[in-house]
Structure 1
Amino acid sequence: MAAKFIYRIKKVQRLMTERKIDILVVVKRENIIYLTGLTQIENMAVLIPIEGEPCIIANWLDADYIEEESGLKTFSYFKPRENLGDKIAKRINAYGFRNVIIGLEKYFISNTVFETIKKALPEAKFIDASDLFYKVRAIKEPSEVEKIKQAAVMVCKGMETALNLIRPGVSMLELSKEVEYALLKMNSNRIPFRIQIVSGERGLLNYAASSCKYIKDGNIVLVFLEAIYEGYYAKICRTIAVGKIPLEQELLFENLLEAQEKAIAALRPGAKAWEVDFTARRIFKKLGLENQFMDIIGYGVGLRPIEYFPIIGRKYHDLIEAGMVIELFSPKIYVKDRGGPRITDLIYVGEHENEILTAFPRKLFRV
């Protein structure tokens, strides 16, 4: 097994000791990628004991391949005679735990697998360990940062494609297809979330999808893109003015950009998440728009487009550390008739200075 994966497993085991977890059952795709480097990971689980060697449970068709690629002992199960839950329970017993405390990814393990383990191990205690993985993955290794940078190059190229095509009379759905094709040609593993190219009142929707609506002169168009490189995400959002737009909207964007710049400057090792949020939020408080800016303004980014540690928001005390990659801003300004502008970038928190990984001009674009 590669040294970096051994190092990651040791990090997980240290946190297990703090949480008094005897064994972790890992089924979530990004956690398996993080711990093993595998991407052929359907219908499988990684078991990590508090001490000793982890193992993998996999479908018999994949078991030999997975063991060879991961370097971990792999136990197979034969469907339909056996199922994943049965085999997990047997291997937990084989580790020799008594009154075992099992950590699970609560929202990601199937009910069938969970109930099977629970029935086979009636003395076991189950706890949610989802947050453990977010904390382990929060500090990025140099190789992880490089993969995020590659994905960032893709979204920047995708944004360039969008800017070259945006004009009155083009449908946003047609535009989305062209941008998606451009991202796939640049070897984005897949399009992780639907491309959002929206304008007008749809710009205020939380997860608006591109529609058949045509771009009109005087519109503000929001372009939000994501890409994946070897499992790692990048994202970007820019605001484009088509023709002349109201001065109120231009000023709102300038305020948003100022707030983002101040938040990026505050995103330093040792800062608390709420302090970064406060730095940005006070600009909107002066304008009477504090309540039009969502309580959470950013998240970690990595093997998920949203990593739930750290969370940048007014009620969060997560500690910012060097090596984190964080998006700012996640939300837009929600003001009817003049709101909707948004700017999103990925920030690498360095020891001495930050780096904006989405190296694309940060301004109000005009076409």
Structure 2
Amino acid sequence: MKTRYEKRLESLQKHLQEENVDIALFVDRENLIYYTGLTNIECMALIVPAKGGAISITLWIDVAYAKAKSAISNVVGYMFPSSNLGEKIVEMLNKTEIKSPRIGFSKYFVEFSVFDALRKGVAGIEFVNITDICYKVRSIKDEVEVQYIKKASEFLVEGMKAAIESIKPGMTEVQVLAEAEYAMRKAGSEGASFRMQVLTQDRQLIVHPYAGSNVIDNNQAIVIHLGATYNGYTSKMCRTVALGDINPETEAIYNLLIKAQDKSISMCKPPIDVKDIYNETYKIIEEAGYGKYFLDVIGYGVGIRQSEFYPIIGRSYNHTLEAGMVVDLLLPTILKKGAGGPRITDVVHIRENDVEILTKFQREMIKK
């Protein structure tokens, strides 16, 4: 029986052959974890030919570890500083004797030194963007991956409990986050894959805010957005806490978001076009009078990255939800100054006949 990693490589190689790509080259964290099974992937690269066996490249000192723990059996090392990762990749690519190779790259997180070595050292090389292929291959989770995300979700519950218990006027955002992060670390989390959020109300309408030194006051809604990881896989959860008496419209907006989230989750029955989910969700927001304050994307895939770019659940995306995918819903808030900003986000596993919410925590607004 083929291992889960062999199946992943076969799926990738099928896509490479269809796109006439000779070799996929990975130096980014997500794909190295996905195809090797390692989480200690510093100074590493992976060469996956369209046909044949994959080759892992790592520092000489890590070769024994990689051979013992990796799903890739062919591991070669390089001696630093007399050599480097880019030079070793060039050496191994030239050994394939493929003339003017078409090399597939994921477009994120490629060091210039590696890119420069490739363009100078491999004759006739052509770079091909295979980012979308990578996201599509990773989008369908096997049962082990789902269990990892479930475990990370359990850590989130501990973190959210700690944050809610500790939060009070006079604390700073980072002080509350410290309590949450400590609880998640004690539970077993390897850390967050994004900058987590504890947000006072005036900061909730920023596009990508994060916890800072801002002091929490009474009589406002506080957003808590946490992330945790297990064996390289992440989960996330967002809740809103009402400290004292808050703006009634803010609470009404939060309840509206729950209603919209309920609708979006209920529609995740595969196969379904993401536009259909978005449109029905948006209709709820629009009918309540907040359509112009709502964003065009309501969810992403979740896996090794906290936001996998396939599938994207949004107005203009031609993506299809399938059984085995894990996504987050509802990602955005209602961007109305003075009242908007509360959020609720959960991670859900799409199965053949139903949907399971993996982040199991109270969804109603928490009041203190």
TM-score bracket for this pair, using the shorter chain length: over 0.9
* Correspondence list, 1:25-64, <5 A: 25-64=25-64
* Amino acid paired to 1:345: D
Contact 1:184 1:191 in 2 (8 A): no
Instruction: Show the counterpart of 2:19.
Output: 19
Instruction: Show the counterpart of 1:80.
Output: 81
Deviations 1:79-104 (A, max 9, x none): 22222222212211222212211101
Contact 2:159 2:179 in 1 (8 A): no
Contact 1:200 1:219 in 2 (8 A): yes
Query: By how many angstroms is 1:165 displaced?
Result: 1.7
What is the number of residues matched between the two proteins? Answer: 367
Q: TM-score, normalised by structure 2?
A: 0.96
Q: Whole-Å Cα distance in 2 between the matches of residues 187 and 2 of structure 1?
A: 30
Q: Aligned with 2:193: secondary structure?
A: coil
Query: By how many angstroms is 1:366 displaced?
Result: 0.9
* Correspondence list, 1:198-347, <5 A: 198-347=199-348
Q: Aligned with 1:204: secondary structure?
A: coil
Instruction: Show the counterpart of 1:142.
Output: 143
User: Identity across aligned pairs (percent)?
Assistant: 37
Tell me whether 254-263 or 93-102 shows the greater mean CA deviation: 93-102
Q: Whole-Å Cα distance in 2 between the matches of residues 157 and 186 of structure 1?
A: 7
Query: By how many angstroms is 1:278 displaced?
Result: 0.8
Q: Aligned with 1:62: secondary structure?
A: helix
Contact 2:254 2:365 in 1 (8 A): yes
Contact 1:298 1:327 in 2 (8 A): yes
Q: TM-score, normalised by structure 1?
A: 0.96
Q: Whole-Å Cα distance in 2 between the matches of residues 13 and 272 of structure 1?
A: 26
Q: Whole-Å Cα distance in 2 between the matches of residues 86 and 143 of structure 1?
A: 35
Q: Whole-Å Cα distance in 2 between the matches of residues 161 and 73 of structure 1?
A: 45
Instruction: Show the counterpart of 2:7.
Output: 7
Tell me whether 261-270 or 212-221 shows the greater mean CA deviation: 212-221
Q: Whole-Å Cα distance in 1 between the matches of residues 144 and 108 of structure 2?
A: 28
Q: Aligned with 2:258: secondary structure?
A: helix
Contact 2:152 2:229 in 1 (8 A): yes
Q: Whole-Å Cα distance in 1 between the matches of residues 196 and 137 of structure 2?
A: 29
Deviations 1:218-242 (A, max 9, x none): 1101010000011010100011111
* Amino acid paired to 1:164: E
* 1:164 matched to 2:181: no
* 1:174 matched to 2:145: no
Deviations 1:53-73 (A, max 9, x none): 111111112123212322421
Structure 1 segments of 4+ aligned residues over 4 angstroms from their partners: none
Q: Whole-Å Cα distance in 1 between the matches of residues 24 and 247 of structure 2?
A: 55
Query: By how many angstroms is 1:212 displaced?
Result: 3.1
Instruction: Show the counterpart of 2:120.
Output: 119
Q: Aligned with 1:58: secondary structure?
A: strand
Q: Whole-Å Cα distance in 2 between the matches of residues 2 and 56 of structure 1?
A: 19
Contact 1:334 1:340 in 2 (8 A): yes
Q: Whole-Å Cα distance in 2 between the matches of residues 91 and 279 of structure 1?
A: 51
Unaligned stretches of 5+ in structure 2? none
Contact 1:234 1:301 in 2 (8 A): yes
Contact 1:180 1:195 in 2 (8 A): no
Change (3 A) 1:86 1:211: closer
Contact 1:267 1:276 in 2 (8 A): yes
Contact 2:99 2:123 in 1 (8 A): no
Contact 2:171 2:216 in 1 (8 A): yes
Deviations 1:304-356 (A, max 9, x none): 11100000110011010000000001111110001001000001001000000
Backbone CA RMSD of aligned residues: 1.5
Q: Aligned with 2:241: secondary structure?
A: strand
Query: By how many angstroms is 1:122 displaced?
Result: 2.7
Change (3 A) 1:159 1:351: same
Deviations 1:200-259 (A, max 9, x none): 211222222223333322110101000001101010001111122222112111111111
Query: By how many angstroms is 1:2 displaced?
Result: 7.6
Q: Aligned with 1:61: secondary structure?
A: helix
Q: Whole-Å Cα distance in 2 between the matches of residues 112 and 169 of structure 1?
A: 47
Query: By how many angstroms is 1:293 displaced?
Result: 1.1
Contact 1:239 1:364 in 2 (8 A): yes
Q: Aligned with 1:238: secondary structure?
A: strand
Query: By how many angstroms is 1:21 displaced?
Result: 0.7
Q: Whole-Å Cα distance in 2 between the matches of residues 186 and 2 of structure 1?
A: 33
Q: Whole-Å Cα distance in 1 between the matches of residues 79 and 69 of structure 2?
A: 20
* Correspondence list, 1:182-193, <5 A: 182-193=183-194
Q: Aligned with 1:24: secondary structure?
A: strand
Q: Whole-Å Cα distance in 2 between the matches of residues 115 and 364 of structure 1?
A: 52
Contact 2:272 2:321 in 1 (8 A): yes
Change (3 A) 1:213 1:76: closer
Contact 2:192 2:234 in 1 (8 A): no
Instruction: Show the counterpart of 2:68.
Output: 68
Q: Whole-Å Cα distance in 2 between the matches of residues 213 and 112 of structure 1?
A: 39
Q: Whole-Å Cα distance in 1 between the matches of residues 141 and 53 of structure 2?
A: 24
